[in-house]
Amino acid sequence: MSQIPINLDKVNKEDIDNEILRLAIIAELDAINLYEQMASMATNKVVRKVLLDVAKEEKTHVGELQALLLMSDKQQTEELEKGRKEIKELLEK
């Protein structure tokens, strides 16, 4: 089982939910990587298909958790938008 990379006891009470959401996103991304790696090694097509389907479900979970985070952390929303604009500008060059 993965370890929580930070001590949640030291997080300000007003930030705790956002930190929990970030940790949940990290866990889901780890799960996606694990399932996709196992799928790439699987020799049975059915096993591969199921693992990729499970990985896809984890991607949905990331979207759900991110949506919650963006609703509660306006700075995160602003920085995400800045990142999108920077990529758009780089691709237009």
What confidence tens digit (pLDDT) does each residue in 35-62 have? 999 999 999 999 999 999 999 999 999 9
Q: Looking at the domain assignment, is residue 5 inside a domain?
A: no
Neighbours of 35 (CB within 10 A): 19
Q: For residue 3, tell me if it sits in a domain.
A: no
**Domain assignment of residue 22, yes or no:** yes
Range of the domain at 50: 11-92
Average pLDDT estimate for 3-8: 72
Residue 2 has pLDDT above 70, yes or no: no
Evaluate whether residue 86 is within a structural domain. yes
Q: What is the DSSP letter of 44?
A: S
Q: Which of 74, 21, 60 is nearest to 6 (CA)?
A: 21
Q: Structural domain tally of the chain?
A: 1
Kindly state whether residue 4 falls inside one of the protein's structural domains.
Answer: no
User: How does residue 1 score in pLDDT terms, banded at 50, 70 and 90?
Assistant: low
* Residue 72 confidence class, pLDDT cut points 50, 70, 90: very high
Is 34 inside any structural domain?
A: yes
Share of the chain above pLDDT 90, in %: 80
DSSP-based three-state secondary structure for 32: helix
Residue 88 lies in a domain: yes
Q: Say which residues have a Cβ less than 8 Å from residue 41's Cβ, sequence separation at least 6.
A: none
